[in-house]
Structure 1
């Protein structure tokens, strides 16, 4: 691949803004494709608040993809609920040597990007980081920050390592993996329980474990559950572990082996996050659509395809689908 001169960030929420700002800080030509935060970022830049280092970045802001021009590296950090806009938002940025790297949650986004732009152009990865967008143009970094990347269509190549070095130059831990699909299943083992139960937990532990769902207006619903809330409740801890085991078993059915010790590692890493609200909780509280398909329903479909029993995942999906339909009623002003 040629020299990386311009980096475009498509999807400038907490994740895209954080990593884009860090790349800008070390001198890369970074363009943010923005929507609601455009005026704020244009006027004030992006403020990154972190115990490691707080700073203001001034990437080039753009409202329309045609303003961005051709980018050498396109970082896709959209919510998966916006995947139907891939062609509209990304196609104007793609040149002969452009690389499209998705850092989105869940399963299937890289498949769709490969169908549109070709498998050899696409890279895939995920981030293990605690971030919140606390105001327009303001990102709070709470913990972690590691990125894992790999090639969509095969083992790492020279460009894989070159792009990893770009992240490392910005003091971002970036690991290259042989099998990026395994990395996706590993991230699901965190996302599914902590994003999912954080929302589903509003029905209460007993309500979640019961065989029926009751969302009558008089039913009292609880607040969403932070990572700390989930970890300090023995019942929820068992559900978390059970979900992780179901996902590990499903991955194994697809010849993706994840060690049992990985479950203990997820508990250990989560224990230092404090009362963290994962992104799905924040979306739900704002009355926004949750990333149900990529994070929850697609893993369930893949389990069903190979007849892997996933009763906890099925229950979680049933509760989340029901709550997603009621989110406006639950959080109406």
Structure 2
């Protein structure tokens, strides 16, 4: 997409990335002018109640920043546009740290919820599932530190405390499994595994989740969706 987009926009066209993970920014910078690249951490709780109908809970939030530290004012302007449109937004001077923090939340709950077929709250309340989730988070934090994003152990408490607000939430990956869709394992688990391989670091929990989900994905299809009894 970045390669094709380069041929269709002027060098000074602002481009805002709004995807999960942290690899999209790395790819985009290979093909597009870094000074025109912006990214956002998107916080949105939503579910598809039926084809074409999306139901949200709470208010969507954006954290926006420039990939070029010299473009803070333009990032603030983009934030202003979203606020004017009624979407709660703020500007970050270290947007990739915000993106990493969200990715760490995702790797804590998304893969495990999809594999076990449980909500965020059920993970927190089940001792073994919670232990697995915490171990995945610690492994993710280890990789983040090698990439230059160091988080204190306090983040573990913060993530689980904040997750209480989403007790009954079906993570996006669980929703995909329920609906027989392709799972987002590469952006969430695959990235950590690739980086761990480069570094020679072992992350057994994330690797196990990745392998189990990859196996499940072969069984997941619109003809064979997952049914969950509440």
TM range (shorter): 0.7 to 0.9
Displacement, 1:108? Answer: 1.3
Partner of 1:245: 138
What are the ranges of 5 or more consecutive residues in structure 1 without an aligned counterpart? 1-84, 202-223
Q: Supply the distance in 2 between the matched residues of 1:166 and 1:133 (Cα, whole angstroms).
A: 27
- After superposition, residues 135-284 of structure 1 pair within 5 angstroms as 135-143=50-58, 145-154=60-69, 156-201=71-116, 224-284=117-177
Higher helix share: 2
Contact 1:142 1:273 in 2 (8 A): no
User: With CA pairs under 8 Å and 6+ residues apart, which has the higher RCO, 1 or 2?
Assistant: 2
* Cα-to-partner distance string for 1:236-262 (whole Å, 9 max, x where unaligned): 111111111111111111221112222
SS in 1 for 2:14: strand
Higher strand share: 1
Q: CA 1:103/1:320 → structure 2, altered by over 3 Å: closer, same or farther? A: same
Contact 1:123 1:149 in 2 (8 A): yes
Q: CA 1:96/1:250 → structure 2, altered by over 3 Å: closer, same or farther? A: closer
SS in 2 for 1:141: strand
Partner of 1:119: 34
Partner of 2:48: 133
SS in 2 for 1:323: helix
Q: Supply the distance in 1 between the matched residues of 2:39 and 2:166 (Cα, whole angstroms).
A: 25
Q: Supply the distance in 2 between the matched residues of 1:138 and 1:87 (Cα, whole angstroms).
A: 32
Contact 2:59 2:88 in 1 (8 A): no
Q: CA 1:173/1:265 → structure 2, altered by over 3 Å: closer, same or farther? A: farther
Partner of 1:52: none
SS in 2 for 1:331: coil
SS in 1 for 2:168: coil
- After superposition, residues 313-332 of structure 1 pair within 5 angstroms as 313-328=206-221, 330-331=224-225
Displacement, 1:183? Answer: 1.9
Q: Aligned match of 1:304 in 191, 197, 201?
A: 197
How many residues of Structure 1 are paired with residues of Structure 2 in the alignment? 226
SS in 1 for 2:212: helix
Considering only CA atoms, is the larger Rg found in Structure 1 or Structure 2?
1
- After superposition, residues 36-75 of structure 1 pair within 5 angstroms as none
TM-score by length of 1: 0.62
Displacement, 1:113? Answer: 2.4
* Cα-to-partner distance string for 1:20-41 (whole Å, 9 max, x where unaligned): xxxxxxxxxxxxxxxxxxxxxx
Q: CA 1:260/1:170 → structure 2, altered by over 3 Å: closer, same or farther? A: farther
Contact 1:125 1:180 in 2 (8 A): yes
What are the ranges of 5 or more consecutive residues in structure 2 without an aligned counterpart? none
Q: Supply the distance in 2 between the matched residues of 1:261 and 1:307 (Cα, whole angstroms).
A: 26
Q: Supply the distance in 2 between the matched residues of 1:259 and 1:290 (Cα, whole angstroms).
A: 30
